[in-house]
Structure 1
């Protein structure tokens, strides 16, 4: 994991304690807000805990809406963090309840965003720590490599397994993406429920976007 100074961790804590608000959800590429702030995006399977992670980062329970229905996030959702940066929630993948036409529509929206967003600094690809990388994740990894967007793996739900198991998954995941051209060479282990890894993820985002207080 990337090393951060105490000063960086504290500055990131303060930044993410500032007001965070929902801006909009875009169902079409033409509806995206102006690219006037640095953005970081979150991608992952529909049940990987994206909403919980976003809420945990900003210390709010209902900023991003979690749902028991996989695939509810079918828009690109934008959240403003104190006018310094935007957090972007991309449509989940790997859900089977919707039609193939619907799935393709929202996956294509996500790809269009990845390819054309000049202010996108990094994508955080969320992977369930209990399972590690799966075959269903390969398409997302390929899409990110094709878009040539820097991305970093974040393991979620680490509280569901033992620490040594989480470390083994982290190492295996890092090895699994080591030869992928756009993958950032560090994997962050997190638990939105317990707060594990959240200070480091906040600091990583702050460093990546160049956001300052």
Structure 2
């Protein structure tokens, strides 16, 4: 697999400010649910650039999507983690589509549910022409799980650019957060498809949310 070209010179202060404002304006636009699919033959026709959000069950995926879009309940967590299998599509300002993927790694989920998730995820990722990036969430409070590593390998095999994003970064003390960030940055270097910038966020405090918005806004129409 050919590695993506990420050799971009660091932006100036003015460029950073412009990017933050572009991200703020985009994610302040109307965001609404418009489609759900449980099988590949149910997917909506490819249209706007898509960003998919993936991660272990209870990693804070719904909370991050809500924080990015400024909604309290746009994305909702399942009452039975690990059992939701559908892909939920949200249109953002008619410029970008956000895709909320099923969570993985829930210990009590049935084997067939886990297998269905892996098959659905991989087939969607490798075959979706409008998919621009996968945001793969990792909980800053806990160690990296084997199924997180497997998800990274799956994404790498699918040749889809993915960005590692730490959630719940308000919980660890600064030294532990710095160590976790360094660990995850090291992981990103192992995969050709990994976006080089690891984002640290907190949906509760808003930490890192403007910067992530700015990064994702670069993919919009």
TM range (shorter): over 0.9
What is the CA–CA distance in structure 2 between the aligned matches of 1:125 and 1:38, rounded to whole Å? 17
Equivalent residue for 2:213?
Answer: 202
Equivalent residue for 1:29?
Answer: 40
The equivalent position to 1:80 in structure 2, one of 87, 91, 99, is: 91
Deviations 1:129-159 (A, max 9, x none): 1124222211101100100000010000001
Unaligned residue ranges in structure 1 (runs of 5+) = none
Matched, 1:58 2:69: yes
1:132–1:173: 8 Å Cα contact kept in structure 2? no
The equivalent position to 1:121 in structure 2, one of 132, 137, 145, is: 132
2:104–2:117: 8 Å Cα contact kept in structure 1? no
What is the CA–CA distance in structure 2 between the aligned matches of 1:145 and 1:197, rounded to whole Å? 25
Per-residue deviation, 1:97: 2.2
Matched, 1:185 2:193: no
What is the CA–CA distance in structure 2 between the aligned matches of 1:116 and 1:124, rounded to whole Å? 17
Equivalent residue for 1:136?
Answer: 147
Equivalent residue for 1:47?
Answer: 58
How many correspondences in the alignment? 209
Unaligned residue ranges in structure 2 (runs of 5+) = 1-9
Moved more, 48-57 or 125-134: 125-134
1:48–1:128: 8 Å Cα contact kept in structure 2? yes
Moved more, 74-83 or 102-111: 102-111
Per-residue deviation, 1:19: 0.6
SS at match of 2:195: strand
What is the CA–CA distance in structure 2 between the aligned matches of 1:82 and 1:177, rounded to whole Å? 30
SS at match of 2:119: helix
1:122–1:151: 8 Å Cα contact kept in structure 2? yes
Post-superposition, which runs of at least 4 consecutive aligned residues in structure 1 deviate over 4 A?
A: none
Moved more, 36-45 or 169-178: 169-178
